[in-house]
Amino acid sequence: TVNQKWYLIRSDSGPVQIPKGEIISKRWRIIKKLGEGGCGAVYKVENIHTKQEAALKAESNFVSGGSVLKLEVQILQRLLNRPYVAQLLHSGKRETYCYVVMTLLGESLRHITKLEKIVVVFTLYRMLHQANFVFSLKSIGFIHRDIKPANMAVGKFGTPEYRFIHILDFGLAREFVVMSSGGKLKMRRPRARALFRGTTRYCSISTHEKSEQGRMDDLWCLLYMLAELRGPLPWTNASDKKEVYEIKRRTEIDVVLENCPVQLVKFAEHISSLNYYMRPDYVLLYELLRDVMKAGRFRWDCRTPHGRYTIRVDYIGSSQQYCHNSKALPAKLKP
């Protein structure tokens, strides 16, 4: 008879499989699987003592290339008690897998924006919080390298955190500030050539070219996400990474930002002026996004009956300006 305590097959190829009802660390009972991919899986769990619900992310100990979850735990430890991120509740390692327990969040931004077109306004409002977190992540010396709707989620419905966007999955993050031999913090020297890390649709052109990613590259991801709220990106239907790169390289940013608020022009101008070592003006960028909402005079009332997101929006006397053609943007503005 196989001891049910060790249920994971020793394999590099499959995700961690934990049966329903299993209790981890004498505290967390497995309720159900929420998703899986590669050698990892995410489960909904419950604290058997307090009845608190949480999310448990497990990763096989036999993953080639080292543990991604270890890095995620390190980042979550640095982000304890900060807003816009799931809070670390517990972490540990067993014979065949390691795991982290964190705050259980709600639906991802990718899921929400598929429900109703009017939710664009709701998403833009919440994007302010997401932008705030991107800036906060930089303050602890990390870049995310995979900013996208699927890696963002609202808080659990019925909790105060529901009003805010939280960022997920730090598996591709990289530290850009390191400690020197003299004990002082310094910028990490960029590699001449780096492996591709990120999501093809949202990554910057320099990421496609395998340049070392810096703070500005996360901001390009954010800008492309904002542009996508107004409609498909020019490369949305491209079939492979090389084709996406060629379309991005050939397409002027005025085409990407067509029909977007003019504030995104200044956003694009600023991040276009940056290199790896330069610090973005986060105050400027945040204010630009906030001004989009202020100029539109949006008001919202968010409800979720029967799991649906509905938004009531009053768009009265708007002073918002939009980019309808290339004359609204500086010429030759490239990502």
User: Domain 106-328 carries which CATH code?
Assistant: 1.10.510.10
90-129, pLDDT tens digit by residue?
Answer: 999 998 899 999 999 988 878 776 654 444 455 555 556 5
The amino acid sitting at 24 is: I
Here the tokens at position 216 are: 């500005």
Residue 305 predicted with pLDDT over 60: no
pLDDT at position 14 is 66
The secondary element (H helix, E strand) that includes residue 101 is: strand 97-103
Percent of the chain scoring above 90 in pLDDT: 45
pLDDT at position 130 is 60
114-171, pLDDT tens digit by residue?
Answer: 654 444 455 555 556 566 667 667 778 899 999 998 898 888 888 877 777 788 899 8
Here the tokens at position 57 are: 């992310």
pLDDT at position 236 is 96
Residue 72: CB partners within 8 Å, gap ≥ 6? 57, 100, 169, 170, 171, 173
Instruction: Please report, for the chain, the start and end positions of each structural domain, with discontinuous segments joined by +.
Output: 23-103, 106-328
Residue 318 predicted with pLDDT over 50: no
Give mean pLDDT, residues 234-258: 95
The CATH superfamily label for domain 23-103 reads: Phosphorylase Kinase; domain 1 (3.30.200.20)
In 3D, which of 230, 231, 214 has the Cα closest to residue 263? 230
pTM of structure = 0.82
146 is annotated as an active-site residue: yes
Give mean pLDDT, residues 227-255: 94
**Is 45 in contact with 102 (CB distance < 8 Å)?**
no
- Residue 100: beta bridge partners? 57, 91
Tell me how many degrees the CA angle 154-159-163 measures, rounded to the nearest 5.
40
Residue 268 predicted with pLDDT over 60: yes
Give mean pLDDT, residues 190-199: 96
Give mean pLDDT, residues 225-245: 92
pLDDT at position 315 is 31
Residue 3 predicted with pLDDT over 70: no
pLDDT at position 226 is 86
- Reduced to 3 states, what is the DSSP secondary structure of residue 154? strand
Of 12, 146, 291, 314, which residue is the catalytic one? 146
**Is 136 in contact with 76 (CB distance < 8 Å)?**
no
Residue 49: how many CB atoms within 10 A of its CB? 9
Residue 176 predicted with pLDDT over 80: yes
The amino acid sitting at 43 is: Y
Q: 310 falls in which pLDDT band (50, 70, 90)?
A: very low
- Residue 90: beta bridge partners? 101
Give mean pLDDT, residues 81-89: 88
29-71, pLDDT tens digit by residue?
Answer: 999 999 887 668 999 999 999 999 999 999 998 877 778 899 9
Residue 316 predicted with pLDDT over 50: no
What is the chain's mean pLDDT, rounded? 80
